[in-house]
Amino acid sequence: MGMGVDIRNKLARRAAEEIQHGMVVNLGIGIPSLVPNHLPKEIQVIFHAENGITGMGPSPNKGEEDENLCNAGGFPVTLKIGGSYCDSGIAFGMIRRGKVDMTILGSLQVSKCGDLANWIVPGKKVPGMGGAMELAQKAKKVVVLMNHCDKQGNPKIVNECTLPLTSSTCVNIIITELAVFQVSSSGLFLTEVFEPYDLKTIKERTGCSFIIHEQIRKITY
């Protein structure tokens, strides 16, 4: 069950609402890399990549890529005026010192208490953990963008993760093509629903119980 471009952009647009002026934000690969396209002009943000860039700009146009300038996923990026490079150790130092305000990343599973499993499906070849473990623990806010179910139709929001954890109790917000959940110490709160979906569909496709917020927002974009 792949995701169309428009749905991917819907998720990225909703995640962009979490970003405030002046934040330092780390973006994962995949859908999170679309988030900058949805930021209002007046919101100035410093995008951080754990391979050593602070102040990433938009993706370059085809033919204008700089082979020496890529993000942590190896994709070409640009640098904004005032942006800087450092080695990976310093980039990780920024994360570990709590200098990153928000990380927006994908996941394979999230548990109802906010455990994150996003780095490996056992038996499959993977590029490695990357910065996810540090970011999940140390970013002030952790936003997950993902499909509600996997390719087999199994829920990715579950009671307990069955895949190896990246980090426990770290996720603050889950955004899927169906809904937005806030993770709190008292459980999972359903706060927003994407049109045209309803509560019945969300309950059927979610692998754990959740609390329905008194005032649910309908997202119509």
What is the C-alpha separation between 194 and 34, in angstroms, rounded? 18
214 is catalytic: no
Cβ atoms 104, 95 nearer than 8 A = no
CA neighbor of 34 nearest in space, from 18, 14, 50, 54:
14
- Which residue is listed with tokens 């307990």? 160
Q: Which of 50, 134, 177, 192 is catalytic?
A: 50
- Which residue is listed with tokens 């920024």? 94
**Residue 56 amino acid letter:** M
What is the C-alpha separation between 8 and 113, in angstroms, rounded? 25
Catalytic residues: 50
